[in-house]
A and B are shown apart, each in its own frame.
Chain A
């Protein structure tokens, strides 16, 4: 089952063509990594696939399924607690009970921080609050922008395991990263350099 299909997608930004002729079909169970040097348009493509940016994007992008997009900004209000931030998340995709949010936060080693203002947490902890959405949202398609940055080794391992279990349950993940392939044979790469004309 295709969760997202892109056909002949081209992206233009500031009069410059970032990529063109991109074809992509994300099936359930897929992991796709967008690779390429800084400035080739990894984030632009991910934003276009997620539907955040529409201007300068041509071609067809079809998404039938709810999607979870995680950008480099965490979408957390600094003076709200982690609990409130997740309960009233702007993406409106969390239907979990408060108990479920508590246990999800606890599994990211945030037990005891649930009711504190997010602004008082460390950068790494804020990042983990944002990642808690992966446990709470039921969207089958994840679009993650640089998810492994600013995470310690155990955080990276946690995310790694999370992605693996998500795709084995029938979900799909598209992510950008500077690091080389983490998922070996499980994942496919889109090298953006090949799509620049």
Chain B
């Protein structure tokens, strides 16, 4: 395990069934959330953006942990595939974080009457975006790409230890400064008729995340091994 030819074959097989599964789940979840689920009694239909916003935010945060785990594997066992994984996760996570931020802003307009509020969750997402951008920028800045992967592994592990503290501190900060009037009900109060499509969409986003990361890794492998005989052999056989 862990050798590029093996991974290339394995990921090819996974992608073949993951791709239709992802598309199916996304379509099903979107149809359920947008058409079947009832409108919110206070926010009307505008709440439906949570079917993109919440899954993107959840998976973006999980993505950082995946990246840090790959970083730890790379540092401890020096497995080259872990470097590739880490590098493949970072842009996907950053895009998901950005999606969560943008949908949050769009949601904020009808809900709070403004595009941007310094809400605890939005602020935490913004900091998460900076953490992702830091990893990507650090990787690009190093000349030696093996050293770059090591440096990013160290950084993402430091970030992982810090993320719960950041989230908690931002929560407290918000609770201290928040005017009571815009206190907003959390997801815990959500009705099951709205919750089920949301859970389905979160599952769909996890699949989407796995799919994009795998495709990213395959692209990286093709580039790294463009001269290798096993790859030429595989291309000839297709």
Contact = CB atoms under 8 A, between A and B. Distances in A.
Interface in B125-173: 143-144, 146-147, 150
Q: What's the interface size class on A, roughly?
A: under 10
A132 to B, nearest CB: 33
A58 to B, nearest CB: 10
Nearest to B143: A14
B8 to A, nearest CB: 20
B71 to A, nearest CB: 15
Nearest to A15: B145
Nearest to B78: A55
Nearest to A14: B144
Nearest to A53: B147
Interface in A1-41: 13-14
A55 B150 contact: yes
B94 to A, nearest CB: 26
Interface in A54-87: 55-56
Contacts of A55: 144, 146-147, 150
A137 to B, nearest CB: 29
Nearest to A13: B144
A43 to B, nearest CB: 15
A14 B146 CA distance: 9
A56 B143 CA distance: 14
A56 B150 CA distance: 12
Interface in A83-125: none
Nearest to B146: A55
A56 B148 CA distance: 13
Given A14-B144, A55-B147, 7 more contacts: A13-B144, A14-B143, A55-B144, A55-B146, A55-B150, A56-B144, A56-B146
Across the A-B interface, the 7 shortest Cβ-Cβ residue pairs: A55-B146, A55-B147, A14-B144, A56-B146, A55-B144, A14-B143, A55-B150
9 contacts: A13-B144, A14-B143, A14-B144, A55-B144, A55-B146, A55-B147, A55-B150, A56-B144, A56-B146
